[in-house]
Structure 1
Amino acid sequence: MVSLNKNILRTILIASYIMIVALIISGVSALFSYLNTGADRSTMLHTEIKKVDQYAPKMDWEPLQNEGRPMDDQTLNAIQHDYLDAWYVKQIAYKSNKTAGIKDYYTDSARKNLFDFIDLNKAQGISIEATTLHHNPTLEYFSQDGQLAVITDRNVVEYKRVFKAKELILETTETSTYQMVFLLEDGFWRIRHLVKDKADIYNNEPQQIEVNSLNIKGINYYPQANPWNMFGDEFSAEIIATDFKIIKDAGLNSVRLFVQYEDFGKEHVDAKKIEKLKQTLDAAEANNLKVVLTLFDFFGDYSVMNWTLNQRHAEAVVNAVKDHNALLAWDIKNEPNLDFESRGKDNVIAWLDSMIDLVKSTDPMHPVTIGWSNTESASILKDKVDFISFHYYEDLESFDSAITTLKAEIPNKPLVLQEFGISSYSGFWKPFGSSDEDQANYHKKIQEQIAANKLQFMSWTLYDFTDVPTAVVGSRPWNRNTQKHFGFIDKNGTKKEAFQYISKQ
């Protein structure tokens, strides 16, 4: 027995020894591998930065007519890459009051001013959230040895928020002109010298579009089989065309569609998704329907440092379909006021304000609106949008009063009731819900109120759905089941009682 115990102990000791040796060898191997691997620039920044995914302001280079050596495209792209990284790390440094990454993109002489500014802000409890939205660089000079470049960047559009002790003390958008000298060091185009020549308040008031003739009588649309995933693998132009004919034959003239930010590829917009969107617009045109296209659905990140990525997304989508005959208007964001509490009201409004400017500058021909979730928020940015859109899922007894108040606040722009409806679900998870008859009575009454208040409208929605993603209403079955039954047509394709009131005649 003693001999057996000794053997067991000896086996354990040998196994432990082998394991320790293996761990030591593994650690040495990992260290050796690290020491023999080239530095990763995103690691060198010490801020987990990947420029291609973090910073993409609009860049409009002047045609190359520089003095000195001719500039090739590869070198120009390298300078632009490092220039934007330099802006990005500076913005992060000003927000965090930390200097990580600065050394990679600024030479010793240029760093001193940045470090001094950061130290001063840190001592005074000041932080700055900022981004640049548009650059207009000109290459002035490129040295014969290819090691030095001089650039003037004119009318740089900069948005800034200044905080003191975490309280906002200044919000501004400026246009500034910068002169810079770049040196090529260790494979980086570092800024050696930077001078801010001048700064002016950015004044961009987009032209308002006359929209009194819109006459929207429409509906929010998703296909029955794949709601909230309309442009996915189950996309069917034929089904959409059939549904659009139903909508047109019901006496409606427009549909509201949704472009989801992540689904369409964020800042790298998916060309296949765009093609499906164009096919959908073709189907609308074939059925003589107009389209209100909602951007940034399922989106909730309004941080200043991501604005440039959001704007590249919007710019790509708008440019792709702005000339389509079916397009009626742009809806910047679906129910952004629901993000006020979690994301900060000022942040959301500032993002919307800037995005309106971007969309209008990209497409000055089509009107712009925002799909507010209630009448209380609908007057926000009323002077920037071309018509007012709001949703209403509250008691109809209060509807007329809410519209009267809204008209008093906004007397000079069309009002569109962009979403409304009632679920016909009554079952295990909601035993005291509404019936098909209740739904029909609701639509009959609200259409009377719409007519009396001379409103334009887009109801929710054509179909009942067999499945609703948890991302839409959460996982609670009473919410999901309720959301499945807002349609005018049930899951079997039969028109419900409410269908007779889908449009005011």
Structure 2
Amino acid sequence: MSKINKNILRGALLVSYVLIIALVIYAFGAIYSYLNTGADRSKMLHTEVKQIDQYLPEITWQPLTNEGRPMDAQTLTAIENDYLDGWFVRHVAYKTNTTIGIGDYYTESARQNLFNIIALNSENKTTVIGTTLEHHPTLEFFSEDGQLAVLTDNDVVEYKRLFKDNQLITEITEKSSYKITLLLEDGFWRVRHMVKIKSEPYTAQVTQPVSTTTINGINYYPQATPWAMFGDHFDADIIASDFELIQSTGLNSIRLFVPYEDFGKSDIDQNKLDQLITILDLAESANLKVMVTLFDFYGDYSVLNWTLTQRHAKTIIQALKDHKALAVWDIKNEPNLDFESRGTSLVTAWLAHMIDFVKAQDPNHAVTIGWSNAESATLLKDKLDLVSFHYYEDLEALDATFETLKSNITDKPIVITEYGMSSYHGFWNPFGNSEEGQAEYHKTIQSIFSEHDIQFMSWTLYDFGKIPKEVVGRLPWRQNAQKHFGFIDENGIRKPSFLFIANKKPSAQQH
């Protein structure tokens, strides 16, 4: 073998040796790195619990007077986070009848009790879907070595739905108190003992009905940004001009919509909240009252998400509840349309809870629900301060519909918070209504309102050039009809119906 060939062989062997050594070192390094991530919560938790996104019940600590070692704020926050995460994992376990994640939040003795319950439920084909909505913990003891904490959690509000063979058996809301012992292990707090010391059925305190002023108003979106008025396209000057126009017609109120996801769900977008406050400021300047419709485009209702919807509502309510322009909280727009897909009992349970929660946050303003029809309007009527529904049916039936509803609801106002007629007739609906037909509709319905003293909010000020598919879907005949419900057309010209936007007839000048 030539000298050159031998050198090539030696070089190849040397390179191979170096590569093998490098791979071995890399492998050992990866193993070492993995083994040293044991105290990293984000790597340890099988359930990937992220408290800010998953579980945010109301929690109110009692003043610290505990025995043992003084408690610092950082440690108390860590205890709170791990304790609530433990509740969340427990709810997930009972919902799915699986044990994943329990070992991360419960010590060996505590988790065995949970395992036994899950095994029994699984054997009996029983599931429990629940959540806790309020906690009021007291720190009783914190050990000198900082490894053990004892809590009493009073008045824990729990909601549960019990299923047998996937059929709902019962719903339970109770108020309970627990004694809890937590141990610090592997860098976070695990539940060692959790004992229920008392429990009783829970019913929210009934607040006195809130009186409201007479509502003669309109649903509002700016013409250029329907269903997207917040964010980068927000224009206070346009809104102020529109409000002056609305007030000049003799109307006294507007209905606004707060989209749940677009506003940040449980983590409210502060910029959009500031814009909402600005809208109420502009309404006040125009001498208009505001009905704020919460949870627009929300359609989940899952029990495990109830704490997130609480946090969303609380942030908005606390920001607006003292505003002079605020008149009414509308919990949800047309929630009965979700009955079929989400289940009537679940949607109604969420609504009932949210009514109580909103009233607890703001007992001074009226609460309603914008039902899509009169048939649903008697639901939860005893909890509401005013009953509201939408009416797009034949006007000949409105007299009887309203009188029937009024005979069933005698102790609070009834408001039609949406009504109207599209003036679209074209390729997709050649037999649709003309602008003159739309005007006749509004003239007729205003006479009915006057005769029966019905409060109202029409749909809507403007025709729109584009309708989001989330509103009416993609079908062109529905899209085009929805574009033409306004009193003012796309070119800013007042349609004949503008004369009947309110009982008071404004001048017919061009806009």
Q: Same fold (TM over 0.5)?
A: yes
Aligned to 2:427: 428
In the alignment, does 2:371 pair up with 1:348?
no
Aligned to 1:293: 292
Give the letter for the 1:157 counterpart.
V
Aligned to 1:108: 108
Aligned partners of 1:127, 1:262: CA distance in 2, in Å? 29
Q: Which runs of 4+ in 1 moved over 3 A?
A: 28-35, 39-49
Give the letter for the 1:49 counterpart.
V
Give structure 1 stretches of 5+ with no counterpart.
1-21
CA contact (8 A) 1:295 1:332 kept: yes
1:35-434 aligned at under 5 Å gives the runs 36-37=33-34, 38=37, 41=41, 44-211=44-211, 213-434=212-433
Identity among equivalent pairs (%): 59
**1:306-334 CA deviation, whole Å, 9 max, x = no partner?**
00000000000000010000000100000
TM-score, with length taken from structure 2: 0.91
**1:20-51 CA deviation, whole Å, 9 max, x = no partner?**
xx9xx99x979974773425645644334322
**What SS is found at the alignment partner of 1:457?**
strand
Aligned residues: 481
Aligned partners of 1:51, 1:200: CA distance in 2, in Å? 28
Distance 1:148 1:219, change over 3 A: same
Aligned to 1:474: 473
Aligned partners of 1:33, 1:379: CA distance in 2, in Å? 64
In the TM superposition, residue 73 of structure 1 has moved relative to its aligned partner by 1.0
Give the letter for the 1:170 counterpart.
T
In the TM superposition, residue 453 of structure 1 has moved relative to its aligned partner by 2.0
**What SS is found at the alignment partner of 1:295?**
strand
CA contact (8 A) 1:295 1:331 kept: yes
In the TM superposition, residue 181 of structure 1 has moved relative to its aligned partner by 0.7
Aligned partners of 1:476, 1:136: CA distance in 2, in Å? 51
Distance 1:35 1:412, change over 3 A: farther
Aligned partners of 1:208, 1:335: CA distance in 2, in Å? 25
Give the letter for the 1:358 counterpart.
F
CA contact (8 A) 1:221 1:257 kept: yes
1:438-457 aligned at under 5 Å gives the runs 438-457=437-456
**What SS is found at the alignment partner of 1:36?**
helix
Aligned partners of 1:62, 1:165: CA distance in 2, in Å? 41
**1:73-92 CA deviation, whole Å, 9 max, x = no partner?**
11111111110110001001
**What SS is found at the alignment partner of 1:177?**
strand
**1:174-222 CA deviation, whole Å, 9 max, x = no partner?**
11000111100111200111111000111213313242x5210000000
In the TM superposition, residue 232 of structure 1 has moved relative to its aligned partner by 1.9
Aligned partners of 1:100, 1:285: CA distance in 2, in Å? 53
Most deviating of 198-207 and 479-488: 198-207
Aligned partners of 2:335, 2:231: CA distance in 1, in Å? 24
CA contact (8 A) 2:231 2:271 kept: no
CA contact (8 A) 2:130 2:160 kept: yes
CA contact (8 A) 1:180 1:191 kept: yes
Aligned partners of 2:53, 2:458: CA distance in 1, in Å? 37
Aligned partners of 2:125, 2:26: CA distance in 1, in Å? 45
Aligned partners of 1:423, 1:31: CA distance in 2, in Å? 71
Most deviating of 311-320 and 406-415: 406-415
In the TM superposition, residue 442 of structure 1 has moved relative to its aligned partner by 0.5
Aligned to 1:461: 460
Aligned to 1:4: none
Aligned partners of 2:360, 2:73: CA distance in 1, in Å? 28
In the TM superposition, residue 253 of structure 1 has moved relative to its aligned partner by 0.2
In the TM superposition, residue 122 of structure 1 has moved relative to its aligned partner by 1.3
In the TM superposition, residue 58 of structure 1 has moved relative to its aligned partner by 0.6
Most deviating of 38-47 and 122-131: 38-47
In the TM superposition, residue 361 of structure 1 has moved relative to its aligned partner by 0.4
Give structure 2 stretches of 5+ with no counterpart.
1-18, 505-511
Aligned partners of 2:94, 2:451: CA distance in 1, in Å? 54
Distance 1:452 1:124, change over 3 A: same
Aligned partners of 1:29, 1:482: CA distance in 2, in Å? 65
**What SS is found at the alignment partner of 1:376?**
helix
Most deviating of 108-117 and 30-39: 30-39
Aligned partners of 2:188, 2:178: CA distance in 1, in Å? 20
Aligned partners of 1:298, 1:71: CA distance in 2, in Å? 43
Aligned partners of 1:303, 1:468: CA distance in 2, in Å? 28
Distance 1:48 1:186, change over 3 A: closer
Aligned partners of 1:31, 1:486: CA distance in 2, in Å? 69
CA contact (8 A) 1:44 1:101 kept: no
CA contact (8 A) 1:45 1:100 kept: no
Distance 1:42 1:243, change over 3 A: same
Aligned partners of 1:403, 1:314: CA distance in 2, in Å? 31
**What SS is found at the alignment partner of 2:112?**
helix
In the TM superposition, residue 412 of structure 1 has moved relative to its aligned partner by 1.7
Give the letter for the 1:199 counterpart.
S
Distance 1:35 1:124, change over 3 A: farther
Distance 1:366 1:437, change over 3 A: same
Distance 1:32 1:237, change over 3 A: same
Aligned partners of 2:430, 2:306: CA distance in 1, in Å? 45
In the TM superposition, residue 109 of structure 1 has moved relative to its aligned partner by 1.1
Most deviating of 47-56 and 342-351: 47-56
**1:264-296 CA deviation, whole Å, 9 max, x = no partner?**
111011111111011100110001000000000
Aligned partners of 2:331, 2:276: CA distance in 1, in Å? 17
CA contact (8 A) 1:176 1:199 kept: yes
**What SS is found at the alignment partner of 1:225?**
coil
Give the letter for the 2:249 counterpart.
A
Give the letter for the 2:125 counterpart.
G
In the TM superposition, residue 340 of structure 1 has moved relative to its aligned partner by 0.4
Distance 1:75 1:406, change over 3 A: same
Pairwise CA RMSD of aligned residues?
A: 1.9
Aligned partners of 2:29, 2:499: CA distance in 1, in Å? 75
Distance 1:454 1:43, change over 3 A: farther
